Structure 1
């Protein structure tokens, strides 16, 4: 399944550069955590301070709630998330306490004649 999520970055060129540097090679524990929880592919795109994440998952393995619980119980993943929060900012539409928020699909060419 494909998921599309949005998140903002703080409007600071130096912080954005650091964020991108961290994503050139993420920590191995983070990649392992994602794969273990059924994430088969992930890409992040940026325009200014707005980011969009395309995440592909294996429906047999992916459970967002279980993945979030595992994150809370894994010190290395929590450390990564705390580090990333230095750079990230919720979108104006993101509920308090959340980061990445699902975007609503409004168009699909494959459904058109």
Structure 2
């Protein structure tokens, strides 16, 4: 299994942040199915202020570039990304792998 940790900032607006959190309580079923289909076994998003931290556990075969690109073509994924864009501090039209910045592990116990 592979693990990826990524970060993304939201606009620093309490109402937008609350709405973003609420949206993630009801992620569309097609989006969750697509995430699983490309080899993501577990995905968790944490929040502190307007900073997001995502942990993804994937299959050993998962390739970030190839499989994120494939994910973008699956049902409702592009619609979900466009829907979430109003909350995220990112350039318009960026794909998920461009918005979410891969983090480098600097410590492991």
- The answer to whether the superposition gives a TM-score over 0.5 is yes
Describe the SS at the equivalent of 2:54. Answer: strand
Structure 1 segment 87-98 matched on structure 2, within 5 A: 87-90=87-90, 97=94, 98=98
CA RMSD, 1 decimal: 1.4
Alignment partner, residue 36 of structure 1: 37
- Return the index of the structure with the highest Cα Rg: 1
Describe the SS at the equivalent of 1:89. Answer: coil
Alignment partner, residue 86 of structure 1: 86
Alignment partner, residue 73 of structure 1: 73
Kindly tell me the number of residue pairs found equivalent between the two proteins: 102
TM-score (norm 2): 0.85
Q: Which runs of 4+ in 1 moved over 4 A?
A: none
TM-score (norm 1): 0.83
Unaligned ranges ≥5, structure 1: 91-96
**2:92 aligned with 1:106, yes or no?**
no
Unaligned ranges ≥5, structure 2: none
CA distance in 1, matches of 2:58, 2:71: 17
Describe the SS at the equivalent of 1:34. Answer: helix
